[in-house]
Amino acid sequence: MTDRREGAREADETLELLQEVIDSPAIALRLEEVGRVVEVGLGIAIVTGLDHVLADEMVLFASGGAGIVSDLEPGRLGVILLRPAEGLAAGEDVYRTRKVVSAPVGDGLLGRVVDAVGRPLDEKGPLGATLSAPVEARAPAILERSMVSRPLATGIKVIDAAIPIGRGQRQLIIGDRQTGKTSIAVDTMLNQAGSGVICIYCAIGQRGDAVARVIGALGDGGMMDQSIVMSASSEDAPGLSFIAPYAATSMAEHFLAQGRDVLLVYDDLTRHARAYRELSLLLRRPPGREAFPGDIFYVHARLLERAGQLSAVRGGGSLTALPVIETQAENLSGYIPTNLISITDGQVYLSPRLVQKGQFPAVDTGKSVSRVGGKAQSPAFRAIAGDLRVTLSQFEELENFARFGTRLDENTRARLKRGKAVRAAMRQPERDPVPAPGQLAILLAVMDGLMDDVDESRFPAVMDAIRAAVVSGSGGVAERILSGAPFGEDDRETLLALAREAIMSVERKDNDRDI
């Protein structure tokens, strides 16, 4: 009797369980495609079997690697690898992810060194609380932007005075090797200390020691906690070098959406273009000029168009881009340089001829231009440095003419002396950005002729003395300059008086030392 009751209870439980299964929602079935690797190259793989995969979708390999679907052809997929091809073999299974490549974004990245997909490289442990964002994003529409109207101070006298950069501008840094392109970018980042500007340095194809020097400079300048360093070295897969600037831009856009100001340095887009050319040739795309693929212009245009000054409706943040590009033998008409010159809002050209003369930073004001930064320049700079470019260009013409040994009148000799003083005042050591009030005092002194008779060997001491005098005794002029207030005649006389006293103090010290 007991066995019959237990059997009936078990039958009831079974019926209840079956009823629950029947009443529960049906499990959705998903068709899982599995592809196969048929060919492996240096940085790419050819895959078959994924008929429904989408362009730019990320796929995973059975060996643990990942890649981006770049070419969609009937029966053949070209995949850009995000890891070295070692360990990947033909016949390996490939799986869809139904996702695009993403990068971590958020405040947890500040002070960290990461690779192109956000993996930490600085041995400080895992990243803090971060979100994820696709590396590709739509550029802001025209109606979502506003005019570039706020200056981005670089701390470099010749740039802030003659080639000003505004927040939201795309300013190209261009020149031959070893002319100081990276130094200008890093000094600009160091000058953002205390400004609230978030800085991101994206190293593309750089050596590890070069990136380490940048990290050391940011740490010494107190800017590392306000910066993110992304490194896609020459030893990594070329696919990482290709997506690195897009991932860095996505990181910057996270802060941009919060209404913050961001400075993003791409160092450099020459290596980025070469990495994309390498991948395109391996994928058997038809080559064009200099073997670059036909869409190389679009590759850089869709990247740099994401920079800009947003309107108040979008939060009013700005993303300033400083792409770096390398020329060969001063050839500005090369394919990649001309592309980027046409995309950006101006360029800072560094001349190897000025490097040979010992003029650092080697900025050629004749070939450099800022198409929108002048509208963001402060009134004080416009009042003092408005004639700087003309003065330097006229001096260079006179200097070339004077080499013929022609007799010069008194007026011409005076203009040559003034030009030499102005050029010497534009010299500036690395990692020493100058605040705007100090720059203006030096520019005012040299343009007004106070430094015409100063020996060039004494210029560094004189400029340091002027900077110190402005900090200690400007009487509120420095604050008005930094606030963007109009520059009046009283402010001018105050700075000139400080400059005269500083020059005289240096001369007195030198005379006492000689005695």
Q: Are residues 311 and 390 in the same domain?
A: no
Q: Are residues 371 and 437 in the same domain?
A: no
Q: Are residues 337 and 392 in the same domain?
A: no
Final residue in a domain of this structure, among 319, 341, 376: 376
Q: Tokens 């959406």: give the residue.
A: 257
Going through 285-379 in order, the beta strands assigned E by DSSP cover 308-309, 318-326, 346-350, 369-370
Q: Are residues 319 and 420 in the same domain?
A: no
Helix axes 296-304, 335-343, angle to 10 degrees: 30
pLDDT of residue 286: 93
Instruction: Please check whether residue 140 lies inside any domain of the structure.
Output: no
Q: Are residues 397 and 362 in the same domain?
A: no
Instruction: Please check whether residue 360 lies inside any domain of the structure.
Output: yes
List the domain range (segments joined by +) for residue 55. 1-101
Q: Are residues 93 and 203 in the same domain?
A: no
Instruction: Please check whether residue 124 lies inside any domain of the structure.
Output: no
Is position 371 annotated as part of the catalytic site? yes
Final residue in a domain of this structure, among 376, 400, 430: 376
Instruction: Please check whether residue 113 lies inside any domain of the structure.
Output: no
Instruction: Please check whether residue 141 lies inside any domain of the structure.
Output: no
Q: Domain containing 17 — which CATH number?
A: 2.40.30.20
- Look up residue 37 and give its two tokens: 């690797």
Of 454, 444, 452, the residue nearest 505 (C-alpha): 454
Q: Are residues 181 and 297 in the same domain?
A: yes
pLDDT of residue 335: 95
Instruction: Please check whether residue 125 lies inside any domain of the structure.
Output: no
Q: Domain containing 288 — which CATH number?
A: 3.40.50.300
Q: Are residues 347 and 213 in the same domain?
A: yes
Backbone angles phi, psi at 437, to 5 degrees: -60, -40
Q: Are residues 287 and 328 in the same domain?
A: yes
Q: Domain containing 475 — which CATH number?
A: 1.20.150.20
Instruction: Please check whether residue 128 lies inside any domain of the structure.
Output: no
Are the C-beta atoms of 164 and 156 separated by less than 8 Å? no
CA distances from 282 to 39, 43, 61, 67, 188 (A): 11, 8, 19, 15, 37
Instruction: Please check whether residue 107 lies inside any domain of the structure.
Output: no
Catalytic residue among 371, 389, 427, 458: 371
Going through 205-301 in order, the beta strands assigned E by DSSP cover 227-232, 261-267
Final residue in a domain of this structure, among 354, 376, 398: 376
Q: Tokens 């048929």: give the residue.
A: 38
CA distances from 193 to 190, 222, 248, 363, 393 (A): 6, 7, 20, 23, 33
Q: Is the four-CA dihedral 484, 489, 495, 499 of positive or negative sign?
A: positive
- When divided into structural domains, the chain yields a total of 3
Q: Are residues 390 and 492 in the same domain?
A: yes
Of 372, 382, 391, the residue nearest 449 (C-alpha): 391
Q: Are residues 397 and 445 in the same domain?
A: yes
pLDDT means per 10 residues, the chain with 515 residues, are 63 73 67 89 92 92 92 92 88 93 94 93 86 94 95 96 96 96 97 95 94 96 96 91 97 96 96 96 93 95 97 96 96 95 97 93 94 90 88 87 77 89 94 94 94 91 94 85 90 93 89 67
Using DSSP bridges, classify how beta strands 261-267 and 318-326 pair: parallel, antiparallel or unpaired: parallel
Q: Are residues 367 and 262 in the same domain?
A: yes
